[in-house]
Each structure stands twice: as C-alpha cells, then as structure tokens.
Amino acid sequence: MKEKVIDFGNERVSVLFKKLFFPTLLGMLSMSAVTTIDGIFVGHGVGSDGIAAVNICVPLLMSLMGVGLMMGAGCSVIASIYLSKGKTVLARATITQAMLFVTLISVTVGGFILAFPEETARMLGSSEHLLPLVVDYLVWFSPSLLFELWIAVALFAMRLDGAPKLAMWCSIIAAAVNVVLDWLFIFPLGWGVMGAAFATSLSCLAGAAVAMGYLLFYARDTRLHSLRPGRKKILFFFHDIGMQCKIGSSALLGELTMAILLFIGNQVFMRHLGDDGVGAFGVSCYYLPFVFMIGNAIAQSAQPIISYNFGTGSTERVRSALRVSVFAALVCGVISTAAFILFPELLVGLFLRIDNTAARIAIEGFPYYGTGFIFFILNLSIIGYYQSMEQVKPAITFAVLRGLVFLVPCFMALPAIMGVKGIWLALPLSEILTTLVIVVTFWIYSRQRAIICR
C-alpha cells in the first residue's frame, strides 16, 4: 500500500503540486459526492421536500466536518514541521492525538442527536411540515459522523506520508458504495431520506476502514501508535490539541462559513418563498461543497510543500508554492463560475424535474450565485497559505471576514434592496469584498517590505 516517497525539500515545486493536487482533488470531490449523490436520489425519489429536509441538516454536518478539517490541517502542519526536523515520533503522536480528539467530539455530538432528534431538528430551523423527514435523516446519519471525521483527519496524514493516491481512493470507494446503497435503499426498498442517511453512514464506514487500516499498519511516518498515560503526556496532549485547533481554526471557519450560509439562507428563502425556496437553495448548496473542496484541494496540496519548506527556511520554495496555488485557484474558479452561468438547467436537472417550482427558482438564481466562485476558491487558497506557515492571525482574520463580517450583512441587506436576486448575490459579494481586503493587505505588506530592503 506504500507509494513512492515524495521529496518536499528538493523536487520542483510545480511538479510536487501536480503530484498532490490531482489525487487530492479527485478525493475531495468524491467526499462531496457522498452528500450530493444523496441529494440526486432524494430529489428524484422523494421530491423537493426531501432536498429541503436534508438541506436543513447540512449546517450541523458541515460544522462537524469543519472540526475534522481543523484537526486534519492543524496536525498536518505540525507533523510536517516535525518531519522536516527529523522528529518522526512527535509527528506520529500529533496525528494520533488528533484522531482521539475527533473521536470524542463525534461520539458526543452523535449521542446528543440520537437522544434529542426532534429538538435538534427544530434548532436547525425545521418547519413542522418537514420535521419527520429531518428527524429521519438526522437519526440515521449521526453514526456516520465518527467515520467522516476519521476520514477528514486521515486524508491529511496519508498525503503527508506520501500516499495521495490512496487517500483519493478512500474517498472514491466511499462515493461508489454510496451510489449503490442510495439506489437500493431509496428506490427498491423505498426508505426515503432515512435510506439516504443510512447509505451515507455505511459508505463512510467503508472509506474510514481503508484510511484507518493504512494509518495503523502501513504508514511510514504518520502511523498511529498508543498514547501512554502520565502527567507530562496529558499536558502534551492538551498543548498539542490546542496548537492544532489554533493552526487549523481557519479551516473550521471555512466550513462554518458554508454552515452560516446554509442556515441563514434557509431562513431567508423560507421567509420569501416558503418550502419551495428552501428546496431551490438546497439544490445550490449540494454544489457548494464541490466548490469548497476544489479550493480546499488547492490549499491542502500546497500545505505540505509550504509547511515543510517553511520548517527548513526555504523561503523561495514557499513563495513558488503560493504562486502555483493562486494560478490553480484562478483556473478552477473560472471553470466553476462558467458552469453555473452557462448550464443552470443541466445542473438543476440532476436533482429535480425542470417543471418543478423549486427547480425554476434555482435555474433563475444559479447564474448570480456562481459569479462568486472565482473569489471563493482564491480566498480559500490564500487562507491555506497562511495556515500552512502557522500564521494564524491573518488566516483567521480573512476567514472571519468572509464568514461573518461580510456574509451575514450581505444576507440581511441585499434581499431588502434587490429581492430574491439579492439572496443569490449575498455569497458572491461577501467573497469579492474578502478578496479586496486580501489584495490590499498584500499590497501594503509588499510596500513595507520594499522600503525595508532599500
């Protein structure tokens, strides 16, 4: 199961990025496909109410996935720096502690959902009409939380260990299992949203089994190992987890941005257009994780290159990795935006019949919604750059700007000014404003650096 060792310190940066990016991108898109496949089958097997019900659950699920990405990014950055200094034992301890932490979080939250499903559904904003569907999805989806968070952390560790292709296959296997089980549970067995959630839980178990098997038995530098009890070990655990959370917090904020988008968007669409509006917004939100994962794939592909060379003091290689990641972000952003502007009927038609009311609302809104994807992906890659160098302050600042400072006011103000069109434009405007702040920050830093060098 081992792959050829990747030399992060000497191989050409653009070649390194390609080796990591394409497997990472395919793996990330496969992770997003698990939820999107649910949506396609639910849309055709249950209807727009099913999509609306699943969409109401997604903010909670994204928040938890954000915890997994936070720990994965944080432990990967710390482990990368340890490995650049030859401290393999500490790198392994960092990965193991991250796994233990996400296990505790997922079990706690999953247990709460199972104990209070209706209360959880109402907290997420479910209407009484959608409540039975939301409860069904939550109850049967909650077991997958453990496996999803294991996968989120494991994929970082596998790529750092030089196994990006195997990391990709973990996600592809999960997506393939989900396709088969979604069809079986929703159509022949007629289990509706419950079947979609159960299929997701089983498919995530399959992907997690491959990932954990690698980290337990085959990994070279990031293998899991037992954590010994003791006062110093416990203090190290809390210190290390705190550092991982701090470094990876921008990744959590990235997921929280989408969770906030979905939560507020659901409320605004419900107020303006009712359950059909939530269904239309739900279709768009099935695509948003794909766009997020593209940006995330760029950031995660550059991360081990940047972190390793930052640890060795190779500044020029760090800058080269930034240039390559920005170029990749611009190319992927243009492609994503063009797809939403040129092919809204095709994209919506995968989920709903075109003559459906929710489908018509989505088709009209997709071109506006897609205009922000260039900036969305670019912002994620820049935040990932700062995160990879343990520069937490700018990473968190930019993440908060796009997730709270700009997004919430845009959602509140634009619908009042522009109507339904303004709801679709809230995300693009928030991302554009964040990009402008990043550009100004880079410009100020460049001028200060030029003055110092004179």
Q: Which structure tokens are listed for 340?
A: 């939403």
pLDDT tens across 397-414, in order?
Answer: 898 888 778 988 998 899
Q: Are 114 and 142 in contact (CB under 8 A)?
A: yes
- Alpha helices (H) along 313-419: 315-342, 344-349, 357-370, 373-388, 392-400, 407-418
Instruction: Flag whether pLDDT at 2 surpasses 60.
Output: no
* b/e burial code for range 270-301 (CB count within 10 A of at least 16 → b): beebebbbbbbbbbbbbbbbbbbbbbbbbbbb
Nearest to 68, CA basis, from 178, 211, 184, 282:
211
Question: What's 352's DSSP letter?
Answer: S
Segment 73-91 shows an average pLDDT of 87
Q: Are 183 and 24 in contact (CB under 8 A)?
A: no
- Give the 3-state secondary structure of residue 130: coil
pLDDT value, residue 5? 59
pLDDT tens across 363-384, in order?
Answer: 999 999 999 999 999 999 999 8
pLDDT tens across 277-330, in order?
Answer: 877 887 887 788 788 889 988 988 898 888 888 888 888 898 899 999 999 999
Segment 196-223 shows an average pLDDT of 91
pTM of the model: 0.72
pLDDT band with cut points at 50, 70 and 90 for residue 1? very low
What's the residue count for the chain? 454
Provide CB contacts within 8 A for 190, sequence distance 6+.
none
